Chain A
Amino acid sequence: MKELWKLKYSDIKKGLNSGEFTPTELIQSLISRIEAEDPKIKAFLSWEKESILKAAAESTERRKSGKPLSEFDGIPIGVKDNICIENTITSCASKILENYRSPFHATAIEKLLAKGFVLIPRANMDEFAMGSSTENSAYQVTKNPFDTTRIPGGSSGGSAAAVAASFVPIALGSDTGGSVRQPASLCGIYGLKPTYGTVSRYGLVAYASSLDQIGPLSKDIDGIIDVYSVISGKDQRDATSKNIPAFDPSKVKELPWKGLKIGKMKITSEIEPDIAKAYESLLAELESKGAQLVDLDFSLLSNSIPIYYIIATAECSSNLSRFDGIRFGQRKDPSGKLEDLYVTSRSEGFGKEVQRRILLGTFSLSAGYYDAYYGRAQKARVLIKKEYEGYFSKVDLILQPTSPTTAFKVGEKTSDPIQMYKADILTTSVNLAGVPAMSVPIGTDSKGLPIGLQITAPSLHEDRIFGFAKMISDWASKVQLPEAIK
Chain B
Amino acid sequence: MNLNEESLQKIAELSRLKIDPKDIQNFLTDFNKVLNYVDTITELNVSSVSDEELYPNEGNSLRADKAEEGLSRSQIESFAPSFQNGYFVVPKVIET
Q: Which residues of A contact B (CB under 8 A)?
A: 100-104, 236, 239-241, 243, 303, 305-307, 309-310, 317, 321, 324-331, 333, 336-339, 341-344, 346-347, 350, 352, 355-356, 358-360, 362-363, 366, 372-373, 376-380, 382-383, 416-418, 421
B42–A372 touching, CB < 8 Å: yes
Q: Say how far A121's CB is from chain B's closest CB, in angstroms.
A: 17
Known: A363-B3, A382-B54. 7 other contacts (CB 8 A): A243-B61, A306-B38, A326-B88, A342-B16, A346-B16, A376-B44, A418-B37
Residues of A within 8 A of B39 (CB): 306
Which A residue sits closest to B16, measured CB to CB? A342
Contact in complex: A336, B92 (CB < 8 Å): yes
Q: Is B78 an interface residue (CB 8 A)?
A: yes
Chain B interface residue bracket vs A = 35 or more
Q: Are A309 and B88 in contact (CB under 8 A)?
A: no
Q: Which residues of A contact B79 (CB under 8 A)?
A: 100-103, 328-329
7 contacts between A and B (CB under 8 A): A102-B79, A240-B61, A306-B38, A307-B41, A347-B19, A360-B38, A417-B34
Q: Which residues of A contact B11 (CB under 8 A)?
A: 359, 362-363, 366
Say how far A419's CB is from chain B's closest CB, in angstroms.
10
Give chain A residues whose Cβ lies under 8 Å from the Cβ of B54.
378-379, 382
Shortest C-beta distance, B54 to chain A (Å), equals: 6
* Set of chain B residues within 8 Å of A362, measured between Cβ atoms: 11, 14-15
**Do A418 and B3 touch across chains, with their CB atoms under 8 A apart?**
no
- The CA of A341 and the CA of B37, in the complex, are separated in Å by 33
Question: How far, in whole Å, are A266 and B67 apart by their CA atoms in the complex?
Answer: 55
Given contacts A307-B41, A418-B37, contact A101 B78 (CB under 8 A): yes
Given contacts A240-B61, A341-B91, A366-B11, contact A103 B42 (CB under 8 A): no
Q: How far is the CB of B20 from chain A (nearest CB, A)?
A: 8
* Contact B81–A325 (Cβ < 8 Å): yes
A373 touches B82 (CB 8 A): no
Cβ-closest 9 pairs across A and B = A331-B81, A379-B46, A306-B38, A103-B75, A239-B61, A379-B49, A342-B16, A362-B15, A347-B18
A366–B30 touching, CB < 8 Å: no
